[in-house]
Amino acid sequence: MESVEKKPPICIAAGGTAGHLIPAQCYAKEHGNAFFVGHKLSENRFLDREKYPYYDIASAPSLRRPWPLAKGFFQSVRILRRMRPRLVVGFGSYHSLPVLAAAIFLRIPIRIYESNIRPGKINRAFIPFAERVYIHFDGQTEHIRKGVEHKPLSWGYHHFPLSVEVQKVHRKEMGLDPNLFTFLVFGGSQGAQAVNGIWLEALAHLSRVHPPFQVIHLTGKHTPIDGVAAQYEMLGIRALVMDYVRDLGPYWQMADLFVARSGAMTLRDALHFGVPGLMVPLPHAAENHQYHNAHYFQEVVGGGRLIHQRDLATETLLNEIEELIENIDQYRQKVQECGEAAP
C-alpha cells in the first residue's frame, strides 16, 4: 500500500491573553498538525498544553529591551529549523515578534491574524511581509496595505442569533429563569475590577427602577465570587456568578445585553450571537485598541454604547443602561444586521 506523505506542520506564533490564544487554537484546530511558539506558554492558562505541542522562547514588550528579543529570535530559528513548518501564523503582541522575524529570516511564508479594528504595532510591522492577513471586521481593511490578501476569519464562526424559544431553553438548563431579561457582565479574560465595582454599586437602583432581571456575571480572578454572589442574593436578584469560563458561547446564548470591556473577541462574539451592549474600554490597552473597537461597535455597527473608564460612575452607567433597555429592539436589530453581513 502506498504511504501518504504527511504535510509539514503549521507554526502558531502566539501568547499572552485569551484574545490571542483562543483564536490561535481555533486556527490550529481547523488546520491540524500545528505547534505553538511563544513567550511563557508553559505558564499560560489559556493554552491547552495537553492538546498542542509548544515551545517557550524569550521575548520582551519593548524594543528597548533588545537582548531578550535577540535571544527569542535565535531560539525561534533553532525551533523552526528543527520543526520545518510550511507556514508561520502570527497572532499579534510581542509574544509573536521573535518567531515572525525568524520565519522571514528562514524564508518561511507568514500570515497575520489581526483581531482589532486598528492593527497593533507588531502586526503593522509584519503585515507587509505576509502573504495573507486574517481579519474580524469590515472596517479593518483600510488599515491593511494594498496588495496584501486579506481574508475574513471563518473556522465555523458564522452569525448565530438565537430564537427566543431556544434562548429560554438554554437559560432553564443553566438554572436561570427562562423569561427574565438577562445581563451578561464580564471583563474579559483578565477580569475588570472597575466594571465589577460600578456595576455592583448600580444594582440596587437598577433593581428598583427596572422590571425583574437576572445576571450572568464573570468576575475575573481578582474579585472573590462569594462576595459578589452574596450581594445578588441580598438584593433578591437571580444570578449565575463565576470567575472565568473558557467557552463563553453558552452564556452569550442566554444574554439580552452585555456589559463588558471591548476586546476584539468580545465584540466579535456580540456580532456572532446578535447581542447589543455597553462597553467600557480598557484604558491602558496597547495603542488604545479597545477604544477603537468600541467606537466602531457604537458608531458603525450601532450596536451599543461606549463609556470611558474615566467617566464611569453609577449615574452614568444607569443612564446608558436605561437608554439601551428602552431601545433594545433597535440595538439588537442593528447588531444582527451587521452580524449577518460580517466577514
Q: What is the pLDDT of residues 164-185, one digit of tens each?
A: 788 888 899 889 999 999 999 9
Question: How far is residue 298's CA from residue 291's CA, in Å, rounded to a whole number?
Answer: 10
Q: Do domains 10-152 and 164-341 have the same CATH topology?
A: yes
pLDDT at 322: 93
Secondary structure of residue 241 in the 3-state scheme: strand
The domain locations on the chain are: 10-152, 164-341
Going by C-alpha positions, the residue among 67, 48, 64, 56 that lies closest to residue 95 is 56
Segment 298-315 mean pLDDT: 92
pLDDT bucket at 104, cuts 50 / 70 / 90? very high
pLDDT bucket at 37, cuts 50 / 70 / 90? very high
Q: Please, are residues 260 and 251 in contact by the beta-carbon 8 Å criterion?
A: no
- CB burial class (10 A; 0-12, 13-18, 19+) of residue 318? middle
Q: Which three cell numbers stand for residue 295?
A: 467606537
pLDDT tens-digit series, residues 221-230: 778 889 999 9
Which of these ranges, 66-75, 76-85, 155-164, has the smallest mean pLDDT?
Answer: 155-164
Which helix (H) or strand (E) is 336 found in, with range?
helix 328-341
pLDDT at 135: 80
pLDDT at 147: 52
Number of other CB atoms surrounding residue 327 within 10 Å: 13
Helices 328-341 and 264-273: crossing angle, nearest 10°? 100
Which of these ranges, 29-38, 141-150, 333-342, has the smallest mean pLDDT?
Answer: 141-150
The total number of residues written for the chain in this structure: 343
Secondary structure of residue 209 in the 3-state scheme: helix
pLDDT at 342: 55
Which residue did the predictor score with more confidence, 244 or 105?
A: 105
Residue type, 305: R
Question: How far is residue 97's CA from residue 122's CA, in Å, rounded to a whole number?
Answer: 7
Residue type, 250: P
- Listed in sequence order, the residues at least 6 apart from 162 whose beta carbon sits closer than 8 Å to its beta carbon are 170, 253, 273, 274
Which of these ranges, 111-115, 179-183, 253-257, 337-341, has the smallest mean pLDDT?
Answer: 337-341
Residue type, 239: A
pLDDT at 271: 87
Segment 330-339 mean pLDDT: 88
Of the options 3.40.50.410, 3.40.50.2000, 2.30.30.60, 3.20.20.140, the CATH number for the domain spanning 164-341: 3.40.50.2000
pLDDT at 3: 42
Please report how many Cα atoms fall inside a 13 Å half-sphere around the Cα of residue 174, on the Cβ side: 26
Residue 42 has pLDDT above 80, yes or no: yes
- CATH number of the 10-152 domain: 3.40.50.2000
pLDDT bucket at 156, cuts 50 / 70 / 90? very low
pLDDT bucket at 157, cuts 50 / 70 / 90? very low
Q: Which three cell numbers stand for residue 337?
A: 444586521
- Spatial strand order of the sheet with 149-152 comes to 54-57, 34-39, 10-13, 87-90, 110-114, 132-135, 149-152
Residue 275 has pLDDT above 60, yes or no: yes
Number of other CB atoms surrounding residue 135 within 10 Å: 22
pLDDT tens-digit series, residues 120-129: 888 889 988 9
Residue 142 has pLDDT above 90, yes or no: no
pLDDT at 159: 45
Task: Quote the distance between the C-alpha of residue 284 and its chain's center.
Answer: 16
Secondary structure of residue 234 in the 3-state scheme: helix
Question: How far is residue 211's CA from residue 215's CA, in Å, rounded to a whole number?
Answer: 13
pLDDT tens-digit series, residues 13-26: 998 877 788 888 88
pLDDT bucket at 158, cuts 50 / 70 / 90? very low
Q: Is the dihedral of CA 111, 283, 190, 58 positive or negative?
A: positive
Which helix (H) or strand (E) is 266 found in, with range?
helix 264-273
Residue percentage of the chain with pLDDT more than 70: 88
Segment 174-203 mean pLDDT: 86
When the pLDDT of each residue in the chain is averaged and rounded to a whole number, the result is 86
pLDDT at 151: 56
Q: Which three cell numbers stand for residue 179?
A: 423569561
